[in-house]
Amino acid sequence: MKSGPEIALAFPRGGHQEVLIEGVLAYAADRNLDWSFVAALESPLLSIKDLARWRGDGILAAISTREEAECALTINTPLVNITSSFPDLPTPACIVDNRAIGRMAADHLVSKGFRNLLFYGLRDVNFSSERQAGFEEVLDEAGYQHDCFLDYPSYSDCDGDWLQKNHGLAEWLQGRKTPLGMFAVSDYRARAALDACRAAGLKVPEDIAVVGVDNEELVCSHVRPTLSSIARNDRLRGYRAAELLHRLMLGETVPRSTSIPPLEVVERDSTQIFAVSDARLRDAMEFLHRQMHEPDFTIDAVARHANVSRRWLEYAFRDSLRETPYQYLRRQRLARARWLLVEKPNQTIQRVALATGFTSAKQFAFTFKQEVGMSPREYRRTARS
């Protein structure tokens, strides 16, 4: 006899999916739901195709193949998809906001001064196309040059041919005018890009800065140089997916698609550089990043440090970064604040404010809501839900 509703987790376990499961469990705990979970036994993967005759109560599934999509159409059990592989599938989905990821990558590289940018992605893969679209939207709006290298996915490669494909990326990179900023569609592709850069004789980050996606610790912190990456909010995705499934199980109507925005760029060595030709501006930017946590820090202090006038600094920032020094400083402070709100959950809002250069919690809360659209407390609760 079942003790409560049975929920099948029909997706590969491991990596960021483990964080997604944390969000599912958090939702069940918050609602005091007596859910029990069904997963594969020895295998790390349970497919929706294995559930055609299953008589459970709900399914969270990664629908990644045409066969799985066809199977989803025949299943009567409440079902929520957690991938964006088939955007036209009528099954409700809770997915990563891939366009927002692309835009975040572009904003990060542009804020570093890069004006010649590259996208390294996959052919005929929906999430890659969405990330590329978001990336290029930002660059087109700013009028910056960009190019792309689209590879075939390696799902079916079993003969080492992916090594030869990596040589193709290296050849594509050779002879390009530096400095370059590259956004790779995933951390694993970013890892391959680092190898290709070395083969092409490009130094990272001096000649080319590289940022990936997923913030996979195994990849990002154990390569040289360490890899900057966009952290997805998989815990929130799991929480929202469980909420959608619960509503379906109650007979409610739910949105067809729910998108979860990324958390932040986790910066490491691969983008820790400022791609501006003027040494004075580069010195000013480095000083700003070192001192921005000080509440009494001012733009005039930056100008004095770089031995330039305030007027010169304003023009230099506008010409190279398309924003004023104050706008740049505020954006960097808020990016640091978002990181602290998520990674330091026991730190008070007041301490976060002071640690990021704001004079008070009130000033911080006002600026944060103006920029992010919600209060710091709401952001922390949402990000960690």
Find the mean pLDDT for residues 82-99: 93
Q: Are 181 and 117 in contact (CB under 8 A)?
A: yes
pLDDT of residue 75: 92
| 22 phi/psi in degrees, rounded to 5 | -60, -40
Band of residue 306 on the pLDDT scale cut at 50, 70, 90: very high
> How, if at all, do strands 264-266 and 228-231 pair?
antiparallel
CATH of domain 6-97+234-262: 3.40.50.2300
Whole-number percent of the chain with pLDDT over 70: 94
pLDDT of residue 231: 92
Band of residue 373 on the pLDDT scale cut at 50, 70, 90: confident
The helix or strand, by DSSP H or E, that contains position 20, with its residue range, turns out to be: helix 16-30
pTM here? 0.86
Helix, strand, coil tally for the chain in percent (to 5): 50, 15, 40
- Does residue 309 surpass a pLDDT of 80? yes
CATH of domain 279-383: 1.10.10.60
Per-domain boundaries in the chain: 6-97+234-262, 98-232+265-271, 279-383
- Does residue 165 surpass a pLDDT of 70? no
Band of residue 157 on the pLDDT scale cut at 50, 70, 90: low
pLDDT of residue 42: 64
- Indicate if 98-232+265-271 has the same CATH topology as 6-97+234-262: yes
Q: Are 283 and 305 in contact (CB under 8 A)?
A: yes
Residue identified by tokens 């929906």 is 126
Q: In residues, how long is the chain?
A: 385
- Does residue 166 surpass a pLDDT of 70? no
Q: Distance between CA atoms of 39 and 340, rounded to whole angstroms?
A: 34
| Minimum mean pLDDT range among 164-168, 196-200, 273-277 | 164-168
Query: For residues 322 and 306, which has the higher predicted lDDT (pLDDT)?
Result: 306
Most confidently predicted of 180-194, 286-300, 327-341: 180-194
Predicted confidence (pLDDT) per residue in 16-65, tens digit: 788 899 999 999 999 999 999 988 766 668 889 989 889 999 999 999 89
- Does residue 103 surpass a pLDDT of 90? yes
Interior/surface letters 155-193, b for 16+ CB within 10 angstroms, e for the rest: eeeeeeeeeeebeebbebbeeeeebbbbbbbbbbbbbbb
pLDDT of residue 154: 76
How far apart are the two ends of the chain, measured CA to CA in Å?
32
Find the mean pLDDT for residues 67-84: 94
pLDDT of residue 301: 95
- DSSP for residue 78: -
Give 105's strand partners: none
- Does residue 3 surpass a pLDDT of 80? no
pLDDT averaged over the chain?
90
Q: 286 — alpha (psi -120 to 50), left (phi > 0) or beta?
A: alpha
Its CATH class, for the domain covering 98-232+265-271, is: alpha beta
Q: Distance between CA atoms of 269 and 223, rounded to whole angstroms?
A: 10
Furthest CA-CA distance within the chain? 77
Predicted confidence (pLDDT) per residue in 198-253, tens digit: 999 999 999 999 999 999 988 999 999 999 999 998 999 999 999 999 999 999 99
Residues in Cβ contact with 344 at an 8 Å cutoff, skipping those fewer than 6 apart: 352
Predicted confidence (pLDDT) per residue in 105-153, tens digit: 999 999 899 999 999 999 999 999 999 999 999 999 988 999 999 998 8
pLDDT of residue 43: 67
pLDDT of residue 2: 58
pLDDT of residue 164: 56
- Does residue 155 surpass a pLDDT of 80? no
pLDDT of residue 163: 52
